[in-house]
Every structure is written in structure tokens, then in C-alpha cells.
Amino acid sequence: MANNFSTSIRQAINEVNQYAVDKKHIVGSVVIVAKEGEIIYQQASGHADQEHKKTMRVDSQFLLSSVTKPIVSAAILCLVEKGILNLNSPVTDYLPNFTPKLENGQQPVITLHHLLTHSAGLKYRFYEPNGEGIYNTLQISDGFDEIAIDLNENLDRLSKAPLLFSPGTNWCYSLALDVLGGVLMAVTQQSLEEIIKTTITKPLNMTNTGFTLSDNNQLVTHYYDALPTPLPMPSPYFMHLDESWNSGIISYDPKRIFNPKAYHSGGAGMVGNAPDFMRFLLSLTSSKNVLSPNKLIDKMAKCYISSEHSTQGPGWGFGYGGAVLDNPIKAQTPQGKGTIQWGGVYGHNWFYDPQQALAVVIFTNTAIEGMSGLYPVKVRDAIYHCF
């Protein structure tokens, strides 16, 4: 039965991959599927660089953007379990100078829980319509753009921008994980790269995941959606979004990873590959893991933010590190209730469905089709069709 299931999954996903590459919806991808902790599908498709006919490999390196967030969130939880951090503590206990205020001048309490759940009242610069607003005026870095400043400077700029709402009263996807990166650095007196290595990547043998990359040849070429075929992303690249994204502008810089002056972003700054991330994802779902005595996914996939906020569309709330599925019918998805899912704007998508003990990692080099286009939806549906 298991072999038949694996064969069906392989055939179904391969068809989706072939179609997506042939139709030039994506340039290349790596898809890994695990069921009950065991990998049942792992395949690379298309090109890592189509101009140079460089074939995509399973171990190809990608800029992770927001795939960084669950990794940093897990590090926070590990330090909480050790008694080093407290989720209910004000962020000022760790970063005394991070004191953003409301529009009325009040300085509310922002806790680590507010930051983990994106309910602190912060936002991203790319949410400002047409690149116009206080985040753009202050030149606040989103963590994956060409702005080359240190973290303290970016947090100082962020602190000067008024909060959108009183912490805990609403939800907005934000730079909160960059603030938490600063918290990790403050309490450990280590660089963010070192604390993530010590806490997460080294224990899990994620040897290809980190905040730096010395060799440009290891990295896939990143592309942006275009017709008739995706085009290589220059550095910098400004993606103008439609009204569904608030007509904002995403500022990319694929070369940022090589810039020693650009701070290491807790929300978008890592580089890595799909096998490493699957190893991380499976560690969260296991009660026998080297990161924690507890099953970390139970804390991360709790629906702290109501699905009324539609964090990833109708039916989705938010946990720690990703959106949490509260109502599959409203979301129109075959995934089970309690599924945690997120992605990254360079073209990635991942989820874990506890009902099926199913983990799926989809890394592409095509933005933003690989994150929120039809491709990850078709891969998802192909998998569930095999059940």
C-alpha cells in the first residue's frame, strides 16, 4: 500500500512539475514530501539557471526570504524552554530602545508573543501603496532589499514609525521577526548567525543553511514572473504588486546575501536548500527531536490569531512562524484543520498537515508564482488526490 501511495504521488507531482516547466510558469523547483516522518518523494525539476542550461538539483541553494521566519521562531521557543526568554515579557526587557508609539503618542507594551504572531502593530515597507508612506520615508529595510545598514539602525528607524494598532488587537504581517532577531542577539550576546547555528542548524545538521554564502555558484538564479517566460532578477529589482497586495512594491536584492554591510534579517535573511528545511520541519513534528524535549509544532501550529483575520485568505489564522488552518471549507483546501503553512517571496511554499502527518516543501526560483501562484496549489492538490 505504501509503495503504491508513493508511486501515485511521484507520478502526480511529476506531471505538475513537467507542465509548469514546459508552460514556463516556473523555471525550476525542488519538491519534497514526507508522510509520518518518512520522505516519500524528493525531486528536482527544470533549471537552476535557464540561460546557462544549469539543471536544478535537489540540493540547490535558494534565498529563503520568509522561510527564515519559522527557523527563528523555533529558536525563540527553544530559549523560552530554557528559561532565557519569556513570551509574555515586554520587548523592552531585551531591547530597551525599541519603543514605537501609537499615532496618539502612547507607548504600548509589545510582548514577544505579539511579535511572534505579527500582532504588534508593525508592518512591512512593501505594504505601502506605490512605495509611499512612513516606512519608505524612513528608509526602513524589509530585510531582503539593497539597504545595507546594521540591525540596530533598522530597529531605530522602525521604532520611529507609528504602530498601526494597539498590540494584540489586530494582525499585520511585519518585520516582527527582525525585531526578534535583535532579541536573540541581545540575550545571547552572539550574532544572529551564531545563535541560529547553535540552536537550530548545527543540532539538525543543516549544513547548507545560514545567513552567509561565500560562493555565488552555489546559488540558483532567481527569476520574476514575466511573459512569455520568467526573467532573471537583477539586483536590485522592484516588483510592483496589484491591488490585492495593496499596490505595494517589493524591493528585492538577490546579491544582498553577499553584502557584509547588510544586517542578518530574522524574517527574511537566510539561504538554504529544500532537504535542510524538510529536516527542520520534521524535527518540529517529532516528540523525539534534538531541539526540544517537546513537540515544537504543537506550540507553533496553535491558532493564536483568529481566522477572522484571513491571514492567508479565508479560513486561515496565525500561529508562530506560519498561517494556521482553522476552517478548511472556507479556505477551499483539502488540507486538514490545524495545518500550518507559509512561504517566501522568492518563490517558496511549505506546509505541515497534522491530520495526515504530511509535510511538504516546495522551493522554486520563480517569484512569486512559486509562493502564491497556481503551481504550489497544483502540487498540493496532486498530493491529496492520491489519498
- Going across the sheet that includes 366-367, the strands are 231-232, 223-224, 366-367
Please name the amino acid found at residue 364. T
Please, what's the largest Cα pairwise distance for the chain?
63
The CATH number fitting domain 2-63+207-217+274-385, selected from 3.30.930.10, 3.40.605.10, 3.90.550.10, 3.40.710.10: 3.40.710.10
Total-model pTM: 0.97
Are the beta carbons of 320 and 116 closer than 8 angstroms? yes
Instruction: Name the DSSP class of 143.
Output: S
Using DSSP's 3-state secondary structure scheme, residue 326 falls into coil
Report the C-alpha gap between 112 and 76 in whole angstroms.
Answer: 9
Q: Where are the domains of the chain?
A: 2-63+207-217+274-385
**Phi/psi at 235 (5° precision):** -120, 115
Q: What phi and psi, each to the nearest 5 degrees, are found at residue 301? A: -95, 15
Place of cell 536584492: 253
- On the 0-12 / 13-18 / 19+ scale of CB atoms within 10 A, 217 is exposed
CA distances from 17 to 70, 234, 367 (A): 26, 25, 16
Q: Let me know: does 168 contact 87? Beta carbons within 8 Å.
A: no
Cα separation, 321 vs 116, in Å, equals 7
Q: What is the mean pLDDT of each run of 10 residues along the chain (387 residues)?
A: 77 98 98 97 98 97 98 98 98 98 98 98 97 97 96 98 98 98 98 98 97 86 97 97 91 96 97 98 93 95 97 97 98 98 98 98 98 98 95
Q: Which residues are CB-contacts of 244 (< 8 A; sequence separation ≥ 6)?
A: none
SS3 per-residue string spanning 189-211 = CCCHHHHHHHHHHCCCCCCCCEC
In angstroms, the first-to-last Cα distance of the chain is: 11
Name every residue whose Cβ is closer than 8 Å to that of residue 4 and which is 6 or more positions away in sequence: none
Distance CA(194)–CA(216), nearest Å, equals 22
Q: Which residue has the cell 505579527?
A: 118
What pLDDT was estimated at residue 2?
Answer: 55
Of the candidates 22, 240, 95, 12, the one whose C-alpha atom is nearest the C-alpha of residue 4 is 12
- Alpha-helical (H) ranges within the chain are 2-22, 68-81, 112-116, 134-137, 151-160, 176-188, 192-196, 274-284, 296-300, 328-331, 369-372, 374-385
The residues carrying an active-site annotation are 66
